[in-house]
Amino acid sequence: MKIPGIHHVTALAGDPQRNLDFYRDVLALRLVKLTVNFDDPGTYHFYFGDNQGKPGTILTFFPWPNATRGRQGTGQAAAICFATGEGALAGWADRLTAHGVSVKGPCTRFKQRVISFTDPDGLPLELVGCSKGDSPAILGFHSVTLSESGYESTAELLSHGFGMIKTQEEGNRFRYNVPGGGIGTCIDLLCQPDARPGQMGVGTIHHIAFRAQTDECQVLWRQKLTQMGQNVTPILDRQYFRSIYFREPGGVLFEIATDPPGFATDETIETLGTHLKLPRWLEPNRVEIERILPPLQLTK
pLDDT of residue 162: 98
pLDDT of residue 281: 94
- Residue 13 forms part of a structural domain: yes
- Residue 223 forms part of a structural domain: yes
pLDDT of residue 130: 87
Q: Which of 21, 66, 62, 20 is nearest to 45 (CA)?
A: 62
* Integer Cα distance of 294 and 18 in angstroms: 12
Q: Which of 103, 86, 78, 85 is nearest to 26 (CA)?
A: 103
pLDDT of residue 1: 86
- How many C-beta atoms surround the C-beta of residue 199 within 10 A? 14
- Residue 288 forms part of a structural domain: no
Distances (CA, A) of 68 to 17, 55, 62, 82, 295: 17, 30, 13, 26, 21
3-state secondary structure at position 277 = coil
Judge contact between 264 and 272, C-beta under 8 A.
yes
HSE-up (13 A, CA, CB side) for residue 222: 17
* Integer Cα distance of 42 and 26 in angstroms: 26
- Residue 258 forms part of a structural domain: yes
- Residue 286 forms part of a structural domain: no
80 φ, ψ (degrees, to nearest 5): -110, 130
Structural domain boundaries, residue 45: 6-269
- Residue 123 forms part of a structural domain: yes
Judge contact between 37 and 43, C-beta under 8 A.
yes
DSSP annotation string for 192-241: -TTSPBPB-SBTSEEEEEEEESSHHHHHHHHHHHHHTT--PPPPEE-SSS
pLDDT of residue 135: 87
Q: How many domains does the chain have?
A: 1
12 φ, ψ (degrees, to nearest 5): -110, 135
* Integer Cα distance of 50 and 54 in angstroms: 7
- Residue 280 forms part of a structural domain: no
Q: Could you tell me where the DSSP H helices lie in the chain?
A: 16-21, 89-98, 152-156, 215-227, 286-292
What are the strands, taking DSSP E only, across the chain? 6-13, 30-37, 40-49, 58-63, 76-85, 104-109, 112-118, 124-131, 140-148, 165-170, 173-177, 186-191, 205-212, 236-237, 242-247, 253-258
pTM for the predicted model, two decimal places: 0.96
pLDDT in tens, the chain (300 residues): 899 999 999 999 999 999 999 999 999 999 999 999 999 999 999 999 999 999 999 999 999 998 999 999 999 999 999 999 989 999 999 999 999 999 999 999 999 999 999 999 999 999 999 877 788 999 999 999 999 999 999 999 999 999 999 999 999 999 999 999 999 999 999 999 999 999 999 999 999 999 999 999 999 999 999 999 999 999 999 999 999 999 999 999 999 999 999 999 999 999 999 999 999 999 999 999 999 999 999 987
pLDDT of residue 244: 98
Q: What CATH number does the domain containing 158 carry? A: 3.10.180.10
- Residue 163 forms part of a structural domain: yes
pLDDT of residue 133: 75
Question: DSSP letter at 247?
Answer: E
